[in-house]
Chains A and B, each alone.
Chain A
Amino acid sequence: MLRLLAVLLAAALLAACGSQGRTPTTAASAPTTREAAAAPPLNVGVSTDLPGVGSFDASAHVRSGFDVDLYRWLANESPEFTPVEVDLPIKDRVNALVDKKVGIVVAGFSITDERRKSISFAGPYLETQQGVLIRADDKRIAVVNDLSGKTVCAPRGSTSLAQLSQAQQGRITIVEVTGSQECVDKLVAGQVDAFSTDQLMLYGFARKDAARVAVVPNLVFGAKERYGIGLPKGDVALCRQLSEKLRTFMTSGAWEEFFRTNFGELSPAGYKPDPYVLDPC
């Protein structure tokens, strides 16, 4: 009996050893879909004060925006995905994932190499660049150099703030605030000259309050802001699953529909990433 076992073991060893090789199996063999029955509701970190992208009207208790449409579309497409919204200030998005307070973040979340050190991303699903919002009657700012000597507001913990500091070093006065709406309020109140963040977000604010604020046309600067879905670091299976869904989202016509719904007549050219060149997981 023992001899038979030994023979079987040796044969199995021989068969197994010969096929050992260079193909990594850790990520590639991971499941591509999650078990529907076993999946509990997933906490989704969302923004509340980014009109067009993700906002929450507390009085009507209604959420709206491209990101909201996106995660609802994902839920519709994936029965195993039951989102539970968790409101997140911009500065808390990375930590909420690291501390496992949320499972994913869909909140105008720019993919950056710096953030990739702590978390992972699936995407991008939207692209924009940093722009400038001014008071509708203010004609002083038309090009980036016009920002010199001005007071500019930016949300704390955002890439916009980092980029503004880098690009306009010493030439402007930066006012940091917690939320984007706070910047708009300060702009309207005349406490700052401009509000600088992702242009797409600024179009959302301008669409909401066109009488008082406007986006400076053709004024963009810095690196591309490529929005992705934030994930816990190293969750390759979830990243692949979401990337596949995002590709479908961008090629099925849903992307265009939601863009129109949330940004009106704004041309989608320049805001849609190539669905076939998503970032690798």
Chain B
Amino acid sequence: MILRSGLVATIVLACIAGVSFLTAWLITMGSKGGELADILSTSLGALSLLVTALSFSFNVRERRRPERHAKVHRPRWMWVSAALLTTALAGVAGYFWIFVKSDIPVTDRAQITDGARMKVGVEAAIHIPGDPPDRRYFAFVPALTNPTAVGDCVGSARLKIALTIDGRRTQQQTGVLPQQEITMDLDGVAREAKVLVVLDMQDPACEVDLSLTEAVLYN
């Protein structure tokens, strides 16, 4: 009995450790990681609850049965748990590879036009690679750099972001800060998609350079 309780506790603690680690790691990857963390943590959490419930039910049955022999054998619930765990992990992995697909880092491939020495009101464009892009979503982190030693330019800047799909302006976000992660839904792109960035700063004398800290295409 003590051995089984110990095993249950070990499995649950392993699940907690695993889920905590995966969740923390995935959240650091941004919104996409957050979604995956949700999927993983929910499925593994549910699994750990199931394992606990199963072990409880088997133990109750075991207790009701008279003790006929002292032969040590592996309880059935362990095999069921192992099978469930394997199935769940395979399911998550399969879902990921079939439906989600791997991310495509495009930080270096996303071209920026009119992003150098941008002034207030100037519009730059970030061209999303692919014709059309190979994934449903485009996540990126815009960065601004003040090439001079003076001016409160980057710190006071706000960006207006708009997505154009095949020349049509669609999603728009205002008040975006530099280094803030933005996600754009590219659903319906037939030919090309680009992100337009308009700069707003408190000082009209400011000039900054636009770049991308990170850009990823994903499903």
In the assembled complex, A75 has its CB within 8 A of some CB on chain B: no
Give the distance in Å from the alpha carbon of A22 to the alpha carbon of B26 in the complex. 10
Whether B9 is near chain A, meaning CB under 8 Å from some CB there, is yes
Q: Is the CB of B45 within 8 A of A13?
A: yes
Chain A: interface residue count, which band? 35 or more
- What residues on A are CB-neighbors of B55 within 8 Å? 3
User: What sequence of 0s and 1s flags, for each residue 242-281 of chain A, a beta carbon within 8 Å of any chain B beta carbon?
Assistant: 0000000000000000000000000000000110010110
Contact B19 A17 (CB under 8 A): yes
Task: Give the interface segment out of B36-44, B72-80, B107-115, B165-173.
Answer: B36-44
Q: Is there an interface contact between A18 and B5, defined as CB atoms closer than 8 Å? A: no
A112 to B148, CA, bound (A): 10
> Complex formed: what's the CA distance from A274 to B203 in Å?
12
Any A CB within 8 A of the CB of B23? yes
CB-based nearest A residue for B181: A22
Q: Does A58 have its Cβ within 8 Å of any Cβ on chain B? A: no
B183: shortest Cβ distance to chain A, in Å? 10
Output the residue of A110, A114, A223 with the most chain B CB within 10 A. Answer: A223
Contacts of A114 in B (CB 8 A): 146, 149-150
| In the bound complex, CA of A279 to CA of B200 (Å) | 12
Given A20-B34, A224-B205, answer yes or no on A10-B155 (Cβ-Cβ < 8 Å). no
B34 and A113 form a contact (CB under 8 A): no
Given A111-B152, A112-B149, A162-B149, check contact A226 B12 (CB 8 Å).
no
Q: Which A residues are CB-close (under 8 A) to B152? A: 110-113, 124, 223-224, 226, 228, 279
Considering only CB atoms, which chain A residue lies closest to B40 in the complex? A17
B31 pairs with A111, CB closer than 8 A: no
CB neighbours of A116 from chain B (8 A): 154-155
Flag if A18 contacts B149 (CB, 8 Å): no
Q: Which residue of A lies closest to B41 (CB)?
A: A17
Which B residues lie within 8 Å of A110 (CB)? 150, 152
- State A2–B52 Cα separation when bound (angstroms): 11
B108-152 CB contacts (< 8 Å) to partner A: 146, 148-152
Q: List 12 A-B contacts (CB under 8 A).
A: A6-B8, A14-B49, A16-B45, A22-B27, A110-B152, A113-B153, A121-B155, A162-B148, A166-B149, A223-B152, A224-B205, A279-B156
